């Protein structure tokens, strides 16, 4: 009788412990599934900005565009990634930011009166940013490690935002990963930003 009671107790405890292990695992699986769905719908954008504008974007965590760029900027959605390429004299990619708001219209004087009224809020992770003195050449998006092989900047004049493929982004993220020893895969970038919000 005593052994039978011990067996029941052991089975009960085993089931309890198993539940404690499996429930968080199922939660994690559903979280990963939701992240995967986000990544499927996520777009990645290249934003060429002047050095002065980049300082404003970095400090205010707001990216803005003029009304003439309305067609493109209105395609930007929360959880999209924005790659910031700072024009001369920096001449390179300095940061990847995550969009945390829908596009909104605001005339608050950030860049100057009535300038760049179409805006999105951003968040940045130090793991996905470089110092302006050590930017990543934009040619890396095209598979070239050298700025001399591809001259891109003239084609960015008048461009406020343009879509980048996930293949191009993977080339950039490999450089970020190698330079900062950070796992910066497109989906994992969401986890990087999530960890910032939780801490």
Tally of CA atoms within 13 A in the half-sphere of 168 that contains its CB: 16
- Judged against a pLDDT cut of 80, whether residue 122 lies above it is answered with yes
Q: 125 falls in which pLDDT band (50, 70, 90)?
A: confident
Averaged confidence pLDDT in the chain: 76
Burial of 88 (0-12, 13-18, 19+ CB in 10 A): exposed
CA–CA distance, 67 with 57 (Å, rounded to integer): 18
pTM exceeding the 0.75 threshold for the entire prediction? no
Q: 166 falls in which pLDDT band (50, 70, 90)?
A: confident
- At 68 the pLDDT is 92
Q: Which residue has the higher pLDDT, 168 or 75?
A: 75
Beta carbons of 116 and 109 less than 8 angstroms apart: no
């Amino acid at each position: 009788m005593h052994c039978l009671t011990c067996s029941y107790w052991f089975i009960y405890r085993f089931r309890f412990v198993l539940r404690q292990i499996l429930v968080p695992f199922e939660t994690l699986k559903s979280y990963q599934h939701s992240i995967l769905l986000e990544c499927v719908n996520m777009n990645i954008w290249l934003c060429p900005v002047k050095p002065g504008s980049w300082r404003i974007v970095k400090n205010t965590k707001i990216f803005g565009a003029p009304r003439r760029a309305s067609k493109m900027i209105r395609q930007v959605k929360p959880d999209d990634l924005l790659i910031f390429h700072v024009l001369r004299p920096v001449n390179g990619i300095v940061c990847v930011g995550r969009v945390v708001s829908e596009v909104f219209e605001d005339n608050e004087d950030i860049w100057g009166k009535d300038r760049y009224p179409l805006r999105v809020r951003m968040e940045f992770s130090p793991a996905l940013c470089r110092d302006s003195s050590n930017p990543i050449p934009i040619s890396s998006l095209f598979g070239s490690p050298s700025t001399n092989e591809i001259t891109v900047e003239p084609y960015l004049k008048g461009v406020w935002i343009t879509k980048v493929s996930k293949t191009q982004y993977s080339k950039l993220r490999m450089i970020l990963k190698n330079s900062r020893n950070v796992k910066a895969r497109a989906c994992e970038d969401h986890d990087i930003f999530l960890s910032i919000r939780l801490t």
